[in-house]
Structure 1
């Protein structure tokens, strides 16, 4: 029953907040959803973050409630018609999700009740099996790296291609993901470039947006996928 919209980035260069994917958002939530529950835990200034998200969703025809304003976060999830988890620091986000005891409840609402879930950047990271492939610094320590687990693989939002002209001598994004796969039993990683998004409807996954995605599978060469590609095979076991 799962219905997911997993976005690489909230803001694309040259446009405003969620402008680049606003039509996808309207198509995703549709007309049945009237109110969306926003989770601003990834940023410190939750009030301002909720204001930004509320203004955007209001312009698209949706009311938006922020979970940090609710007296009971778990009850807020139980009553939600749809959920949107925004970007920021993934470690802070996951820790707050566990601290507020909503990880299992979000999983239940999405996988069992079928309410739509949208994530952007860090919100996309926590929708996957773990946050092991986030780009963020661990500014806080969540109790585990295991995430909500709405899909059985990892995503690397904001995936950056190697710049052959760069003099930077640190690891490239590709090298870091290869290092991840040097560990045993690691699932595949979808490198989602900015402007890209993954739509999951039950057991079907489709790459949308304006950029290709790169798939990393342990022990195999990377593969590029064009917009519109069927990536449903990722939903089987994540490997």
Structure 2
């Protein structure tokens, strides 16, 4: 498989995808046709136009899967797929409704390059359980695409030592997740991403990632750290909370 999983698509003070544009255009097939999945936001046309503006100057043709009456056929007519960010629950519900959940999984396992950002990166994990989003809709299940066997937390935020906010930090929330589920969680800070090529996986980008595992302290992973061993572990989930 070929995966490029971005923590974020927009970096503060920069245009859409500008912080990772060289990486993105180098990952996508040159001169290819890209299937864009815009379902995480409500305005699919505006979202697709934003992606076109960023990528078509590099010679990449962008097709929103919603622009076809048969989104699965549109996917199969393209050379790569990009699942954009927004609300993960809304995105997953639409992937189920359109048949794209199964179709994307099969296409990517068959060799189609997959790029995700934020919610689209969440989709690459086995389940939705480490998203930051509010469940504004209820998908049929929490099961996502399962392209990697570990969980991902995009937009990972470090605790602010000066904050007076008494709610859980991101680290506390992920620790709670690990109390119920035995599976690694890769926290991707903004500006970082994960690249998977076959049986190799590497953290890349401008900032380190943070790895959470049950029973061990969180581990800092500088950019260019190989994490291929994460691809070889089978997760164990608490089935009571899978939306089934």
- Is 1:77–2:75 an aligned residue pair? yes
Q: Which residue of 2 aligns with 1:60?
A: 58
| Alpha-carbon distance in 1 for matches of 2:59, 2:225 | 29
Find 1:170's aligned residue among 161, 167, 186: 167
- Structure 2: segments with no counterpart, 5+ residues: 236-244
1:214 counterpart (210, 215, 218)? 210
Counterpart residue number, 1:14: 13
- In 1, are the aligned partners of 2:32 and 2:78 still within 8 Å (CA)? no
Instruction: Report if aligned partners of 1:188, 1:238 keep a CA contact under 8 Å in 2.
Output: no
Q: Residue in 2 aligned with 1:237?
A: 233
Deviates more, 1:187-196 or 1:77-86: 77-86
Distance 1:59 1:210 in 2: 24
Is 1:148–2:114 an aligned residue pair?
no
CA–CA separation in structure 1 for the residues paired with 2:57 and 2:230:
34
Q: Distance in 1 between matches of 2:44 and 2:120?
A: 15
Q: Which residue is equivalent to 1:29?
A: 28
CA contact (8 A) 1:38 1:84 kept: yes
| In 2: Cα distance, 1:147 partner to 1:53 partner | 23
Counterpart contact for 2:80–2:112, Cα < 8 Å? yes
Match of 1:122 among 97, 119, 123: 119
- Indicate the RMSD between aligned Cα atoms, in angstroms: 1.0
1:139 paired to 2:136: yes
| 1:64 CA drift (Å) | 0.3
C-alpha displacement at 1:16, in angstroms? 0.8
* Contact map agreement 1:129 1:151 (CA 8 A) in 2: yes
Structure 2 Cα separation of the partners of residues 35 and 64 of structure 1: 6
Please tell me whether residue 225 in structure 1 is matched to residue 225 in structure 2.
no
Aligned to 2:241: none
Looking at structure 2, the residues matched to 89 and 73 of structure 1 have their Cα atoms a distance apart, in angstroms, of 20
Q: Is residue 195 of structure 2 the alignment partner of residue 196 of structure 1?
A: no
1:182 alignment counterpart:
179
Structure 1 length-normalised TM: 0.96
The counterpart of 2:100, out of the listed 102, 108, 115, is 102
Q: CA deviation at 1:60?
A: 2.0
- 1:37-65 deviation digits (Å, cap 9, x = unpaired): 00000000111001101111102220100
Pick from 37, 40, 55 the counterpart of residue 39 of structure 1.
37
In the comparison of the two structures, how many residue pairs are matched?
Answer: 235
Segments of 4+ in structure 1 off by > 6 A? none
